[in-house]
Structure 1
Amino acid sequence: KNEGVVLDAKSNQIAWANGNLWAPAAIEVKQKDGSYKYFLYYSANPIEKGGKQIGVAVSDSPVGPFLDFGKPIVSKSPVGHGQQIDVDVFIDPVSKKPYLYWGNGYMAGAELEPSMTAIKENTIQVMTPKGGSLKDYAYREAPYVFYRNGLYYFMWSVDDTGAANYHVAYGTSKSPLGPIEVAKDPIVLIQDPQHEIYGTAHNSVIQKPGKDEWYIVYHRINKDYLHNQPGVHREVCIDKMEFNADGTIKRVVPTHNGVAGDK
Structure 2
Amino acid sequence: MDNKQTETSKDLTFTCPHCQTVIGREDFEGHYKVCGVCNYHSRLTWQDRLKLTVDEGSFIEFDQNMDSKNPIDFPGYVEKIAQLQKECETREAVVTGKASIAGLPALIGIMDSRFMMASMGSVVGEKITRLFEYATGNRLPVVLFTASGGARMQEGIFSLMQMAKTSGAVARHHQAGGLYITVLTDPTTGGVTASFASLGDIIIAEPGVLVGFAGKRVIQDTIGQVLPENFQSAEFIHEHGFADMIVPRSELRDVLSRLIRLHRYPREAS
**Same fold, TM-score > 0.5, yes or no:** no
Higher normalized contact order (CA 8 Å, seq sep 6+, divided by chain length) = 2
Higher helix share: 2
Higher strand share: 1
